[in-house]
Structures are given as C-alpha cells and as structure tokens.
Structure 1
Amino acid sequence: MASSSYFEDSSNELTCAICLQLFEEPVTLCCGHSFCSSCLENYWESREESTACLCPNCREVFPQKPKLQKNVILARLVEQMKLREGEGSHSVGGQAEGKDGEGDVTVNRMVNVGGHESHCEVCNEEAAMRCVPYETVCCERHMKPPKHKGHNLVEPEMKVEDPGCTEHGNSIHFYCKDDESLVSLLCKAEHQDHEVVPVEVAVAEFKGILAAKYPPLVESIKQVGSQIQQVHQEVRDTQVSGREKEERLEGERREMYRAVDEKVNHMKRWLSERQSVKLSHLEHQRANLQQEMDSLCEEESTLKASLKELEAVSFLEGYKDLLCRLESRSHFSTTEPAPPRLLDFPVEEQNVDSLIQINDNLLKEIQNGRTPSLDPNSAHRRIKISRDLRMATRTETDNPYPDHPDRFDRYPQVLSSESFSSGRHYWEVDVRSRGRWLIGICLNSMGRKGRGKECMLGGNPESWCLQKCENKYYTVHNNRGTLLSVPGDPERFGFLLDCEEGELTCLEDSRVLHVFRGNFMDPVKPAIGVYGDDGDSVRFCHLFMISFIPFCS
C-alpha cells in the first residue's frame, strides 16, 4: 500500500548522488546503488583511470564496464513523485490526506526541528528519533536504520548544524579539486572550469588516498615496536649481565677472604703451638732456678751463722765443711739450652708477606692497565672481529677485509693492537670454544705472509703459546710442544708478562701451568689463533676481577 508519507520519505531516495536531482532514466549497479544513466556515463568518461569502472558511492571496482539497464521501478516512482508535486499534495508543517484506492491514510507532517513538539509521520505518536539531514521523524515502532551514507538518527530535540556555504549559506553538495574547497549548488557556477565532484565522490577518493598510507604506517609501527622490544631485551640482558658480574665479583672477594683467613688461621695455630713449647721450656727453667735459689739462700744463712759463732771450738768443727760447700757453689753455672724464639716462622710462612706484596703490586698494575684489543688489520680473512674488538670468531667464508701488510694470509690468526716491551702486564682469555686454538704472545716482527712455520703461532722462535688440540693442552715454542697436565676443560687462562725478567707465566684457576722464558724487551703482542670449526671463538676478557692471581703458595 502506497501513501503520501511513503512518497514524501522517498523523495531523498529518488535523488541521484551525482547530480543531486530526481533520477532521469535511473540505472542500478551490482552493488545496489542507483544513478542517472547519463550522470554515470559522464562520470566514468571523466575519470583518468579508464581501465576500470567503479561505483561513485561505495567505490566498488568493476573490471569490465557493466551493462546498464533502466530500473523501471525507480523510474515509475519518480514519475509518481513528479505528478504528486504537481498536484500540490506535499504540505510540510501541516496535515494532508490522500487515497490510494484501498484506504485512507492520514499523514502528520508536524515537524518542530530542535523543539519538543514532534510526532511520528506515520502514526502521529510522539517521535523518538530524527533523521539528519532530511528532518524526518518517527516513533520507536516505525524507526528504520538509515539506508544511505549521510543519514544519521539523532534525538528529536538535538540540534545538528549542517555545514553550509560561507558565501550563500546553502548546504554543501560538491567539492572543487582545483581550489580544494567545498561548493554549494549556487557556488558551482563559479567553478565552471574546475574539476567539481560530489562530496561523496571526493570523500571516497580521499579516503582511498589515505587508505594507501595505512600499510606503510603499520609497517613503521611494527619496525618501531620491534626496535622497542630490542631495547627492552638489551635492558634486560644488561641487567642480568650486571647481576652475574656482581655475583661473580662477590664470589671472588669471598674466595680471596677465605684464602687469607685460611692462611692467617694456619699461622695462628702454628704460633700457638710454638708459644706453648716456649712457655713450657721457660716454666721448667724457672723451676730449676728457683730450686737453685733456695739452696743458695740456705747456704747464705749457714754462712752468716758461722760468722757469728763465738765459740772457737764450734767454729773450727764446722769451718772446713762449710768452706767446701761454698767452693763448690762458686763453680755453679746453668747449662739449660736456650729457649726457641717465639716468632721463628718456617720458610713457607716467611714468604707469605712477600707473596701478598707481589699480588698487591700486580693488582695495582692491572687496575692501571687495560684489556688487550684485537687489531683488524692483522686478522686473517677467515677470522671475524667483534665490534668491541675483543672476540675472534672462525668463519667458513672470507670476510671483506682490505689488503694490509700486517694481515695473516695463510693461518687463521690475529694479534692485539697493543704491544709490550717493558713493565708487567696481565690479561685473561676466554676459551669456552671446544675447537682447536692457540693463545699466547709473539714478537711484532713475526712473519705474516706465506705458508711456512715462521708465520704460525708457536711454530718459530718468535712466538710462545698454549695450544688446545683434540682436548689436550700443550706449550708450543719454536715448533716444539710439551704436553701439560690440565684437569677438566677450563674456560679461562691467564697470562702474566714480565718484560724485565723475561718471563711469561701461564695460569689456570690460580695455578701456574708453565713459565716461558725469553727476550721480551723487544715489542711483543698478545696473539690468538682459532683453528676450529665455523663459529668457534676466543675472547679477551674484561678484567673486572682477579681470577688467576695465586693468593696462596
């Protein structure tokens, strides 16, 4: 059943979204949107991208130009709308009655926009919602969702300002691409030579441009998020590494305290024993002297009594016996052995002070020194140097190092940037890798080019090294190796170089493994050779603690 209200509500539904006029020969696309046939053809012809057709409303793309057929129902509704407008049956703000041949329908068009007196256009009940911008009202029972873009349901009393033309105050229906401005129907004449499109078309086009920016923005967000996660991970790794180093340093301190306490306790026990021996000897000596003192006092008393004797006969009778006893006392002398000295420590105890002094001096030297760094100009192309110049890693392929006269061209070796020719120096090397390696020192003058032993660490008189091969450890110098007794599989080795003494001491866990002797007054450099598999590595350790300094003899 058709009604006056139906035709009036449908006036906006019978409007072309391109020309904003009642349909002329309306056609409907597959997406469901309808347009004037001529408007749609002109729109497609005006587009620069002629390879595909799209809906001006929803922007759906049609790879092939669809066959347009007239929408007979829309055309008939348009004709009926035009007839009713011609009869003057459309009355806004009042009441109108009409018949469709089957019954009478009374339509209430009392619309008080923005006020409180508004009624449903169908049943005359109090309106619940208002459609913007077409100002139609309805109750909850006849409320329908908007079917087209730009239709919004709001409260009847809500004021919604429709943006209008600043010059004429009319509603905006077009957009000028040349001036980038909004255009009303009256302003359109001023933009005759410009590219003017309906606002819906402009919105759809610009949304497409903005949508094209969305994937790069999402990718940037992902990249930044990934970097943030990396930073968070580095923060966590730094915190864990710091705690591990603090715990290890604290363990070293406890170990040093334990060693000192053990040595001091041993010395105290020995001192207590020596003190007991000496006190016992002194007590025995005191008892003997006291006994002798008592005997002498007795003889003194007898002598005084004899000298005071008045009777000649009595004196003469005891004189000779008393004289003999006094003469024997005059030859008295102690034959007791000298007591032992109280602090006469054994030789090993006498060396404790000097040993502690040596470690104290070495500690000061290490604190004033620095960890060696690797020289990239000396690295073989199968040796990769870490960013901090501390770790050498074996690789299967050549690294892109430039040619350099100091570079090893045959053996996978690398030297430090530092060289030593005087003083005492200490460093440690992390050898957790299970492969074959060589670590030690070499003269700065050792050969770098060629296949002979003169360029291999330990294979000539100019290098002194420790070697790990097939899980055994050797000292290597001048192409001669000596097997070492090394328990377990150590993770670190320490090297103490004394240039003036001509000694290179190799240590493992506070234990001296070997002492090389040579002329180290010529410049020497710490050296590393990584002969294992791909990924095996050797690293100079950062000296934040003293791991290999022997604290006990």
Structure 2
Amino acid sequence: MAASASASCLLSEDHFLCSICLDVFTDPVSTPCGHNFCHNCIALKSCLDCLTSYCQTHLEPHRTVSGLKRHQLINPVENLEDRMCRKHDKPLELFCKPDQTCICLLCTVLDHKNHDVVPLKEERKGLKVELKRTEAEIQQMIQERQLKIQEIQQSVELSMNAADREQQKKQAQDFINGLELEICELENRRSEVDQLSGSEDHLQVLQRLPSIRASPSMKTWTEDQLREDMKKVFEAELRRVQQFSVEVTLDPDSAHRELVLSEDRKQVRHGDGRKKLLDKPQRFSVYCNVFGEQRFSSGRSYFEVQVKDKTKWTVGVARESIDRKGTIPLSPAHGFWTIWLRNGDQYEALDEADVHLRLTSSPQKVGVFVDYEEGVVSFYDADSADLIYSFIGCCFTDRLRPFFSPCLSDGGRNSAPLVITPIVHIK
C-alpha cells in the first residue's frame, strides 16, 4: 500500500481518468500501444487515442492504477497533495529541520537557502529511532511507579498491628492514587507512541511527539514529591519499630577466638591472631561470629548496628540452638535470618535463595527488627529510614539471638568494628 502511494505522487490527475467516459477508471486496462481505459468502455477493436488495432486478448491490467483502492482514485488530487509540494508541484523528498516541514528540491533553492535540509527517508529513520527510545523511557517510568507502589504496600503490611496498619494505609493511599494516575497517563502515552510508530504521516509524528515526551509536572513529582512522600512513609514505619528497642550486648563466651570485644561489649572487630581461650561448646569455632547476650522468644524487639567503614559484615538474628562448630549455610532453613555486605558494595539478603539488594546508598547503620509472633525479621537503613529487606512468614520455634560477624580484617582494609549503638529516634 505504501509503495503504491509513493508511485502515485509522481502522477497527474489525468493519469486516473478514462478518455472515453471521462471518469475515474473502473477495472482499468492497458492496450498494447500503451493507452489506458475502463474495461467496459472498450467496444471497438482499436485504440481511440492512436487508432492502433488490437484484440481483447491483448489487454493487460493497468499496472500503475490497479493496485490503488477505489476511494484513492475518487479524489486523486487530494491524495497527491499529501506528498506533493503545493507551491511547486514537485515530490516532497526533503525535510527542513529548522522549519520542521517537508519540502521539494525546488524549495531548497528558493525558500530554504542555508537551512539544515536532509533526505526525508533519513529523517524518518531517525524519527523511528526516537519513537523507540520514547517508548522505552515511558516503559521504564511505568515500572518505577509500579515498584514504588509495591514498596509502599509492603511497608504497610509490615506494620505491627491492625491499628498501625490502618493508620499507615490512610497516609499512603493518596500517594498510591497519585502514582496510579501517572501510570494510567503513561499507558495512554505509550499507546499513542505505538500508533505513531505505524504512521506514514511524517508531519503528524513531528507535531505529536514533543507533547508525548514533555512531562514537566511528572518529572517534578518523581524527583521531589515522590522522594519526599516515600521518606515520610518509611520514617513513620521506622518510628514505630524503634518503640521496641532493646539493650543488646555481645556474648564473650560465644565469640570466635580471633574476635576482639570492647570492654563494654558493644563493639567487635577481627584481631591479629587467635587468643588463648577455652573452646567452650557455645563458642563459634569455624567462622568469626558472635552472639548477642539477649534472647527473643516473644513480642517485638529492635536494635541498631553501626557498619561504617567496613567492606564486609553480616548482621541479623539466629536460633540459639544452631551448630556453632560446623560450616552451616546462613539461611532460614538452618536457623539464620541475616543480610551481609561483600566486596565493599555487594549487599545480599541470605534467604532460601540469596537476594541481591539494590540500595540507593550504602547504609552506615543497620536497624534489625523482630516480630516473633508475626514471623517477621526486617532490616532498615537507620539513617535514611529505608526498608532494606524483610523475611516474612517465618516460623520461630526456638529462642532467637542477635547475630554478628565483622568478618576478617583483610590486612586492615576491613578492620573497623561493628558497633551496637544507642537508638536515635526518628523525629
């Protein structure tokens, strides 16, 4: 269809009229001598244009016109005007970038001197690339908003009780509604891009694309209000869990022999060598781990650990009855609910399958929250109030204890201690 339309732009109106009935061709045929008529108009045995003799078997379909639809032939001039220069009656083969218009070759000489002019085919190719890029950007914006809605809903579900959950739902619902409206608008824009991608009307695409791409209010919402409202939601959640803060100190009887504990039992780091300590049953003997002295067997508990200046660490809770002598995987199935840092920037939650954590910033202080009855262990960036990860649906049948590993010092690169810090409540 597009090829036929391109061919038609080189024809005049006379090419579509039968010289016998003087109307638009119906079932057009060509005579051997090269003239064209409606099939039913031919009653003679010679061409009325040049009087050349012929027989019916010599007639062939009109190659130029037969591929065009009837409605295109009824208004041939109107159809040609879409692709012909109205001023010079020449094909529109070029595109003027400053004026954003299609022009003919004669226009470049008379009306568009010194303008940036490119072949129309080249401009169309670039425009199709721009449409694909726009569609990809819109899809990314949709996914970002869908992810934010999931994060808010997850935060609401992790609220401590029904009353808290209802209160937070009211706070978060307006924000969610705004995101859903933006998603709806973006879906409409993506649909419009799909339509433009199949359009042959170059000028239409040029006129509509800027309005599709322009979204100043949405950009402001995304970068400013989105961040601010999300911060309020997560700060409210962190304030609630901080109400359940407990005093935590390190248990020296459980500490691996290469670990060094501070006198107040609030800090632990890897030392230079093994100390001469009794190998008690409760002491970790394979990895540089240490328990907190506190036990959690009911209710809710929260504590914070400074992880500043470290390249490796592991923090969380574990069953008191775990094997402290063997090489056991750090997973819920083996009694561990932990997150860790490796290689300075690789954060993972050690769930049944390790979960890579994409954090917007490196936490300096990690908050650990346990709801024993609800079966929840959550980790927070205590400074930004961001929820890092949650283990949910856990079934606790044993007492839980705070679990820490400062990991090896790596020649001093990871010598900073883990520090159990006082709770600084979010205002």
TM-score range, shorter chain: 0.3 to 0.5
TM-score, normalization: structure 1?
A: 0.32
Larger radius of gyration: 1
TM-score, normalisation: structure 2: 0.41
